[in-house]
Amino acid sequence: MATMGNSTNIFWHECPVSKVDRQKLLNQQGCIVWITGLSGSGKSTLACSLGRQLHCRGKLSYVLDGDNLRHGLNKNLGFTPEDRTENIRRVGEVAKLFADAGLICIASLISPYRKDRDSCRALLPEKFIEVFLNMPLELCEGRDPKGLYKLARAGKIKGFTGIDDPYETPLNCEIEIRQEDGNCPTPNEMAGQVVSYLEDKGYLEA
Amino acid sequence: MATMGNSTNIFWHECPVSKVDRQKLLNQQGCIVWITGLSGSGKSTLACSLGRQLHCRGKLSYVLDGDNLRHGLNKNLGFTPEDRTENIRRVGEVAKLFADAGLICIASLISPYRKDRDSCRALLPEKFIEVFLNMPLELCEGRDPKGLYKLARAGKIKGFTGIDDPYETPLNCEIEIRQEDGNCPTPNEMAGQVVSYLEDKGYLEA
């Protein structure tokens, strides 16, 4: 190695870089945490809290936010059924790359159709953690953080999930987050539930 | 935080996760190392060597290989001019995400057109390191590791870079790797040249 000493040169030959090597470097296991749920269910909030809790433990995660990606990688996609599917497919493929890089990749998308979520799961079936943010429509609509439900009810947005387009409830999700006794868990509590799962399954060490 | 003690709970509030936080965790700075050059110039070899040298120093990198991505993220793209441009655009967008995650992202693509490379540079101009693998066509064609030059010369592949489609030499690349006195640098020497650059520019610490 031109710029390094002999001892490094020897070490070099024992230093092939695989997913396992990256995971050892990070002391964690790459995976995809796929957060699905209605608009306003708290996906971005959970993703953010989860990222912070993991960072506080020295773990490297990265959030792929459906809305944000539409400004970059997916900016050439609209909201036709084909484009929605392609949107989710690309996020799934990128999430797989991040997991391969050793990161805990947190994908946050409504992803209303079972078929699309299952296609992403199939990309990395043994490392795919589907988190269903199971909040009642009334709660989400009451929050309406982006004012989208109001527009959908007024007919100004067509094909809005939960209003005039279906949300297909996960059948096989790893984690379900819901209200308890009518109370919504806090963002920290929701993130804690995911962190506990990751810890139990051994993702937080190499 | 449901699953953690109070001290962590306090730390939590001082723990927003930004690019800077991830860089501190990794003790490096996210960036894009964009390797461009003719088919057979040694891009994948350099990418691999560079990844290994960085890993040996405890640095986290990830290789985005143009060919590999065509099996995943870009599998719905062909080789028309529009599809080639879209191929490179997507790789650029994904590389930007990896750099934002704090990784040294090594992108390895022929990327023959200046316009396409400059579009990727524009996504993250201050952290884009263009590496031009400047090897003579005769050398690359002599290697012909995939037998593609032979097919192109026989007219069985159309629009092959260097044969019947142009390779536009970078005008403003950060690193140029070339033969010295007719000798090709070894993969380790090439990677060492890039590592030295990264070190000089401060990318290998937070």
Q: Which of A126, A108, A170 is nearest to A31 (CA)?
A: A126
pLDDT of residue A87: 96
Chain A residues close to B12, C-beta within 8 Å: 52-53, 56, 188
In sign, the C-alpha dihedral spanning B60, B66, B68, B71 is: positive
Contact partners, residue B28, CB within 8 Å, separation at least 6: B59, B60, B102, B104, B203, B204, B205, B206
Contact partners, residue B50, CB within 8 Å, separation at least 6: B33, B61, B106, B190, B191, B194, B195
Chain B residues close to A4, C-beta within 8 Å: 53, 192
Q: How confident is the model at residue B81 (pLDDT cuts 50, 70, 90)?
A: confident
Q: Which residues of A are catalytic?
A: 111
Mutate to test the interface with A, among B97, B105, B200 (most CBs of A within 10 A): B97
What is the Cα–Cα distance from A205 to A23, expressed in whole angstroms? Answer: 8
Q: Do B55 and A22 count as a contact with CB atoms less than 8 A apart?
A: yes
Give A89-110 pLDDT, tens digit per residue.
Answer: 999 999 999 999 999 999 999 9
A43-56 helix and B6-13 helix, angle to the nearest 10 degrees: 110
Q: Report all structural domains of chain A as residue ranges with CATH numbers, in order of start.
A: 18-136+171-200 (3.40.50.300)
Q: Do B62 and A100 count as a contact with CB atoms less than 8 A apart?
A: yes
Instruction: Tell me the backbone φ, ψ of residue A164, rounded to 5 degrees.
Output: -125, 20
Chain B residues close to A191, C-beta within 8 Å: 1
Strand partners, A134: A178
Tokens of B12: 């939590």
Q: Which of B47, B38, B35 is nearest to B141 (CA)?
A: B38
Tokens of A174: 């790893």
**Which ranges in A41-161 belong to alpha helices (H)?**
43-56, 66-69, 81-100, 114-123, 137-143, 148-153
* Assembly ipTM: 0.91
Q: Which residues of B are catalytic?
A: 111
Give A32-89 pLDDT, tens digit per residue.
Answer: 999 999 999 999 999 999 999 999 999 999 999 988 999 999 999 998 889 999 999 9
